[in-house]
Chains A and B, each alone.
Chain A
Amino acid sequence: MSSRDHMLGLMAKNQPALLPLEETKLEVISYKDPVRQFAETLTAIGGKAIMVKDFSEIKMRIREEFDTTKRIVTTIPEFSDLAEMFSASVLPHSFENTELTLLHTDFAVAENGAVWITEDIMGQRILPFICQHLAVIVYADNILPTMQEAYERIASRRYGFGSFIAGPSKTADIEQALVLGAHGPRTMTVFTLNV
Chain B
Amino acid sequence: MATREPGDHAAFAEKFNRDEARVNWHDETLWTVRKRRDLRAGQLPEWEALRSKASMIKDHTLSNLHDYWVQFEKNAIANGARVHWAADATEHNIIVHDILKTNGVAKMVKSKSMLTEECHLNEYLQDNGIDVVDSDLGERILQLADERPTHIVMPSIHIKKEEIGELFHQHLGTPKGMSDPQFLTETARHHLRDVFLTRSAALTGVNFAIAETGEFVVCTNEGNADMGAHLADVHIASVGIEKIIPQRKHLGVFLRLLARSATGQFITTYSSHFSVPRKGKEIHIVIVDNGRSRQLAREDFRNALKCIKCGACMNTCPVYRRSGGYSYNYTISGPIGSILAPNLDMADHKDLPFASTLCGSCTNVCPVKIDIHQQLYKWRQVIVAEGHAENKKKLAMKAMSGILSSPSLFKMAAKGFSWVSGILPVAVKNKFNAWYHQREMPEVKKETFTAWYKRNHKE
Secondary structure class of chain B's binding surface, majority of residues: helix
Contact A126 to B231, CB < 8 A, known contacts A174-B185, A179-B185: yes
Contacting pair A184 B226 (CB below 8 A): yes
Contact A111 to B266, CB < 8 A, known contacts A12-B66, A181-B185: yes
| Interface members, chain A 129-170 (any B CB < 8 Å) | 129-130, 146-148, 150-152, 154-156, 158-170
Q: Does B87 contact A (CB under 8 A)?
A: yes
Contact of B294 among A14, A113, A158, A161 (CB under 8 A): A14
Please give me the residue from chain B that is nearest to A125 by CB atom: B230
Contacting pair B135 A183 (CB below 8 A): yes
Contact of A171 among B43, B157, B185, B196 (CB under 8 A): B185
In the bound assembly, the distance between CA atoms of A29 and B260 in angstroms comes to 15
Number of A-B contacts (CB under 8 A): 242
Distance in angstroms from B169 CB to nearest chain A CB is 14
Distance in angstroms from B184 CB to nearest chain A CB is 6
In the bound assembly, the distance between CA atoms of A130 and B46 in angstroms comes to 36
In the bound assembly, the distance between CA atoms of A10 and B298 in angstroms comes to 13
Distance in angstroms from B355 CB to nearest chain A CB is 24
Contact of A174 among B164, B272, B275 (CB under 8 A): B164
Contacting pair B271 A113 (CB below 8 A): no
Q: Does B137 contact A (CB under 8 A)?
A: yes
In the bound assembly, the distance between CA atoms of A11 and B192 in angstroms comes to 39
Q: Chain A residues near B189 (CB, 8 Å)?
A: 181-183
Q: Chain A residues near B253 (CB, 8 Å)?
A: 26, 147-148
Contacting pair A169 B221 (CB below 8 A): yes
Q: Chain A residues near B115 (CB, 8 Å)?
A: none
Contacting pair A21 B266 (CB below 8 A): no
Contact of A173 among B85, B155, B275 (CB under 8 A): B155
Q: Does A195 contact B (CB under 8 A)?
A: no
Contact A182 to B221, CB < 8 A, known contacts A159-B273, A164-B255: yes
Q: Does A8 contact B (CB under 8 A)?
A: yes
Contact A169 to B223, CB < 8 A, known contacts A7-B293, A28-B46: yes
Q: Does A90 contact B (CB under 8 A)?
A: no
In the bound assembly, the distance between CA atoms of A169 and B59 in angstroms comes to 34
Distance in angstroms from B200 CB to nearest chain A CB is 11
18 contacts between A and B (CB under 8 A): A7-B241, A10-B294, A14-B297, A19-B60, A19-B63, A41-B266, A92-B230, A93-B197, A111-B256, A130-B227, A130-B230, A130-B231, A146-B256, A163-B271, A164-B267, A170-B222, A171-B137, A175-B161
Query: Residues on A close to B: CB < 8 A?
Result: 2-4, 6-8, 10-22, 26-29, 41, 45, 92-93, 96, 109, 111-114, 124-126, 129-130, 146-148, 150-152, 154-156, 158-177, 179, 181-185
